[in-house]
Amino acid sequence: MRPSLSLLATLGLVSACADTSGSSASATQASGPITSASASASTGTANSTNATNATGGDASTGGDASTGGSTDASTSGDPSETAASGSTAASGSTAGTSTGDASTGDTGEPPPLVEELLLDLPGEVFIPSVEAPMLHLDFGDKGIAYHRLRLDVDLVVGGWQPEIPDEGTPDRTEHILFGLFRANQSKSDQRYLMGAAAVTFAGNKAPHFRMFGRKEIAAGYMSYTQWSGTYAWQEGSEVHLGCTLDGDLHEQRCALSIAGEVVAERVGEVAYLDPDAHLASAFYLELGRDPPGDIETAPIGWIYRDLKVIGARP
């Protein structure tokens, strides 16, 4: 998980080493969620991938301030909390516009990217529970620099967890949907890349759909950021979550869609992101949250289905 603003300000970062022990089971079948301690996942290449229910990880950045870069088609609450981005594209890399030198064949555009299926878990993947609140998934190979990563997963919205007591920010609970991390990093502040959460608040404040990211890969809570706005989550509804991290466009985005129509989107600039420096050490996903943080919890009872991660590289 992401380091918490309140936690990091006083206690520093916490290591996010996942517990990889436990029995193994197949994670590529369409029937039944993953509930065992570990499981293997099929990939689109000869590279191996594994999945582990972990007990630990980095904490959340927290923070309640909206930072813009979001659009909603079916939101409720105060619309002033959401800043429009003016962009509705869900994914993909955009080539440069320079014409270059036609006589030499140099168009000035970046080389085309080849997509590679890094993680493929069809059917029912995971249902967070009190006993198993988080699923850890490793993918990718160290040494391969991916210029774009795309995550897609279907969610069945569940209920909300009780308010988590916190002296600094007692009014909200972040139900962590996923976190994307850099693998093979010795320091916890070098791992977190991006994530998303469904956020509830005390009182009559409308819930949010929130995306997390980094301003830079560095120590300290000031290196983390977020983009947030209201979204009317409905228990029992089925939504598709699609998120992209693009090192060529220096952009990240997460969109919620229902029946193919985008209903909420968060878009943010990640100027620091360099594929060779930051996207070449392999990766891991954490679905849910374990253990609960000062304001973070797992989305207990929510259903994850048909998860895929696609990488694109020259």
Q: What is the mean pLDDT of residues 221-240?
A: 97
Bridge-partner residues for 304, per DSSP?
126, 155
CB distance 294 to 59 below 8 Å: yes
Q: How far apart are the first and last CA of the chain?
A: 30
* 131: confidence class by pLDDT, cuts 50, 70, 90: very high
Domain boundaries, the chain: 5-90+108-313
| Residue 304 CA to its chain's centroid (Å) | 13
Query: Greater confidence, 106 or 274?
Result: 274
pTM, rounded to two decimals: 0.72
> What 8-state DSSP symbol labels residue 192?
E
Q: What is the pLDDT of residue 178?
A: 98
> What 8-state DSSP symbol labels residue 277?
H
Both tokens of residue 259? 């029946």
Residue 8 belongs to what H/E stretch?
helix 5-11
Q: What is the mean pLDDT of residues 303-308?
A: 98
Give the lowest-confidence range in 3-12, 219-228, 243-252. 3-12
* 85: confidence class by pLDDT, cuts 50, 70, 90: very low
Residue 138: closest CA among 281, 254, 241:
281
Model confidence at 306: pLDDT above 90: yes
Q: What is the pLDDT of residue 96?
A: 37
Residue 176: closest CA among 79, 288, 13:
288
Q: How large is the greatest C-alpha to C-alpha distance in the chain, in angstroms?
A: 66
CATH architecture of 5-90+108-313: Sandwich (2.60)
Q: What is the pLDDT of residue 202?
A: 82
CB distance 127 to 282 below 8 Å: no
Q: What is the pLDDT of residue 44?
A: 42
Average of per-residue pLDDT values in the chain:
76
